[in-house]
């Protein structure tokens, strides 16, 4: 018996998972004490209850009852080990369970489980000795077994607690790191904001000179070409002004003014602007809206145009000259889906998350703000933006804009 007890002790103390340990205690107890059933009841100090897991794995069910109930409760409270030879005649015995399950309890041996500080942490119970009845020797063995089990349970709990603490610490550390990153980002934004408002005024003054083209327009009202080019210059000036405002307000979040806009018109206008962009002038633009659609949305046209220009410029930068840039527009459920597709070099897996970060760029003259601004604008419109990309094949950016509903 002693040898067996040592073996059990080694087995139990090396199981670190609390649930598996309980199963192991129950199985070892049946063999060690030659009993038909065994149960471990643990004390829940918060609720003053005893609880026990019935069954194993996914079928495990928990039963709970107050500490002042039944034989287990009595042993847990008093610390007295108990052999009950005729349970059906014992006032503490609850016949209900047997009545329900059809199991016949012949005798019960119940011992307290004490930890190293002699504190009762639960109760260990075996039912029906295989041959004969539980005797005082069994009681002694059961007590020895129970104290080994108690130590093993406490160990497993400690390890579990340590793991929890470690995870909490880990989480706290990650949160701290994230908070720090946010602070750094905000700091960067604030610096840009300051810088921008400093130069904003000066740039706007210079932009004022561009308004001279307005005079040229008026001088040649019938010259189509002059009208078209000067309009492009004026549009570009307006975008620069709104970009300057955007950079100045970078750290602040604000809602844009929105109006009803036809997406087909907006995309056509945007492509026209891009044709005059020196980085894009060899590109072949293909715009294919789905047939029979009336894509009216409630947006800030300048901002959405800014998004499209950013995506198209990125597409151009990633492509060989004369490549195709395809733009499509389709209706899906209750939103409009715009795709900007290029056949360029693609985005490598390792930077796929990073491209959205402000200041992330792989270009010598990029600011790395393009996609960050796109994301903010689309989110402000309650939309979504994402991409799919394959190295050497190209990239598609997707924009989802909510369908206009009674705005
Ligand atoms: N269509 C694309 N194909 C390949 N790489 C892309 C594409 N779009 C974006 N990228 C990658 O994502 C990075 C970040 O893009 P983002 O538009 O934010 O900044 P940028 O284009 O580098 O600079 P800018 O602020 O001038 O736009 C790019 O530097 C590029 O590496
Ligand atoms: Mg860009």
Q: What residues have CB less than 8 Å from 83, skipping those under 6 apart?
A: 107, 108, 109, 110, 134, 135, 136, 138, 139
Contact assessment for residue 316 and residue 280, using Cβ atoms and an 8 Å cutoff: yes
List the helix and strand counts (H, then E) for the chain. 10, 13
Residue 342 Cβ inside 6 Å of ligand 1? The answer reads yes
The 108-114 sheet, strands edge to edge: 61-66, 49-54, 35-44, 120-129, 108-114, 82-84
**Reduced to 3 states, what is the DSSP secondary structure of residue 24?**
helix
Residue 347 Cβ inside 6 Å of ligand 1? The answer reads yes
Supply the pLDDT for residue 253. 54
Residue 356 Cβ inside 6 Å of ligand 1? The answer reads no
Distance 299 CA to ligand 2 centre (A): 22
- Tokens linked to 128: 């029906």
DSSP string, 298-344: EE-HHHHHHHHHHHHHHHHHHS-TT-EEEEEEEEETTEEEEEEEE-S
Distance 289 CA to ligand 1 centre (A): 25
* Of 342, 333, 327, 346, nearest in space to 392 by CA: 346
**Nearest atom in ligand 1 to 369's CA:** 25
Residue 315 Cβ inside 6 Å of ligand 1? The answer reads yes
Residue 385 Cβ inside 6 Å of ligand 1? The answer reads no
Q: What residues have CB less than 8 Å from 392, skipping those under 6 apart?
A: 345, 346
Ligand that comes closest to the CA of residue 394: 1
- Tokens linked to 211: 């308004």
Of all protein residues, whose CA lies closest to atom 9 belonging to ligand 1? 314
For the purposes of burial, counting CB atoms within 10 Å of the CB of 144, is it exposed (0-12), middle (13-18) or buried (19 or more)?
middle
Contact assessment for residue 76 and residue 86, using Cβ atoms and an 8 Å cutoff: no
Provide the residue ranges of all domains of the chain, joining segments of one domain with +.
Answer: 2-165, 255-402
Is the domain covering 2-165 a CATH 3.30.465.10 domain? Answer: no
Spatial distance between the Cα atoms of 296 and 265, rounded to a whole number of angstroms:
10
Residue 20 Cβ inside 6 Å of ligand 1? The answer reads no
**Nearest atom in ligand 1 to 319's CA:** 3
Q: What residues have CB less than 8 Å from 401, skipping those under 6 apart?
A: 263, 297, 299, 304, 335, 336, 338, 378, 381, 383
Residue 369 Cβ inside 6 Å of ligand 1? The answer reads yes
Other beta carbons within 10 Å of 403: 14
Supply the pLDDT for residue 152. 92
Residue 360 Cβ inside 6 Å of ligand 1? The answer reads yes
Supply the pLDDT for residue 245. 76
Question: What architecture is domain 255-402?
Answer: 2-Layer Sandwich (3.30)
What is the Cβ-side half-sphere exposure of residue 312, based on CA atoms within 13 angstroms? 33
Contact assessment for residue 127 and residue 35, using Cβ atoms and an 8 Å cutoff: yes
Distance 21 CA to ligand 2 centre (A): 57
**Reduced to 3 states, what is the DSSP secondary structure of residue 187?**
helix
**Average pLDDT by stretches of 10, the chain with 407 residues:** 86 87 90 92 92 68 87 94 93 86 92 91 93 93 92 90 90 85 77 72 78 87 91 87 73 72 95 87 94 92 92 96 97 95 97 90 86 91 96 97 70
Contact assessment for residue 141 and residue 5, using Cβ atoms and an 8 Å cutoff: yes
If one residue of 314, 364, 392 were mutated to test the ligand 1 pocket, choosing by the most ligand atoms within 8 A of its CB, it would be: 314
Distance 375 CA to ligand 2 centre (A): 12
Tokens 């065994």: give the residue.
Answer: 38
**Nearest atom in ligand 1 to 314's CA:** 8
Distance 297 CA to ligand 1 centre (A): 27
If one residue of 312, 355, 373, 378 were mutated to test the ligand 1 pocket, choosing by the most ligand atoms within 8 A of its CB, it would be: 355
Distance 369 CA to ligand 2 centre (A): 7
Distance 311 CA to ligand 2 centre (A): 7
Q: How far is CA 368 from the centre of its chain?
A: 26
Contact assessment for residue 105 and residue 128, using Cβ atoms and an 8 Å cutoff: yes
Distance 362 CA to ligand 2 centre (A): 10
């Amino acid at each position: 018996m002693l040898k067996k007890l040592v073996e059990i002790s080694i087995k139990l103390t090396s199981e670190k998972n609390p649930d598996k340990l309980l199963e192991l205690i129950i199985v070892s107890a049946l063999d060690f004490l030659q009993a038909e059933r065994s149960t471990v009841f643990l004390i829940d100090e918060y609720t003053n209850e005893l609880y026990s897991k019935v069954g194993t794995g996914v079928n495990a069910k928990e039963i709970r009852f107050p500490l002042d109930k039944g034989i287990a409760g009595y042993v847990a409270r008093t610390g007295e080990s108990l052999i009950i030879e005729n349970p059906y005649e014992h006032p503490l015995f609850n016949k209900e369970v047997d009545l329900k399950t059809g199991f016949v309890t012949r005798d019960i041996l119940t011992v307290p489980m004490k930890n190293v500080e002699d504190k009762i942490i639960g109760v260990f119970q075996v039912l029906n000795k295989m041959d004969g009845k539980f005797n005082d020797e069994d009681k002694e063995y059961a007590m020895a077994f129970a104290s080994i089990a108690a130590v093993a349970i406490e160990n497993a709990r400690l390890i579990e607690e340590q793991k929890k603490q470690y995870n909490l610490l880990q989480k706290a550390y990650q949160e701290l790191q994230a908070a720090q990153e946010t602070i750094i980002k905000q700091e960067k934004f604030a610096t840009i904001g300051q810088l921008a408002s400093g130069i904003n005024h000066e740039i706007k003054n210079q932009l004022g000179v561009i308004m001279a083209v307005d005079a040229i327009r008026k001088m040649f009202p019938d010259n189509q070409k002059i009208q078209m080019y000067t309009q492009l210059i004026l549009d570009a000036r307006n975008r620069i002004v709104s970009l300057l405002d955007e950079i100045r307000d970078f750290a602040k979040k604000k809602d844009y003014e929105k109006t009803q806009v036809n997406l087909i018109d907006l995309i056509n206008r945007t492509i026209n602007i891009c044709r005059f962009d020196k980085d894009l002038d060899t590109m072949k633009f293909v715009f294919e809206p789905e047939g029979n659609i009336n894509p009216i949305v409630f947006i800030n046209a300048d901002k959405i145009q800014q998004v499209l220009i950013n995506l198209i410029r990125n597409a151009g930068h990633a492509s060989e000259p004369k490549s195709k840039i395809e733009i499509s527009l389709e209706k899906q459920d209750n939103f409009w889906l715009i795709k900007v597709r290029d056949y360029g070099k693609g985005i490598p897996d390792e930077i796929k998350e990073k491209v959205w970060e402000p200041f992330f760029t792989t270009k010598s003259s990029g600011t790395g703000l393009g996609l960050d601004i796109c994301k903010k604008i689309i989110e402000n419109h309650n939309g979504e933006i994402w991409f799919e990309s394959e190295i050497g094949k190209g990239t598609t950016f997707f924009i989802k804009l909510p369908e206009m509903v009674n705005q």
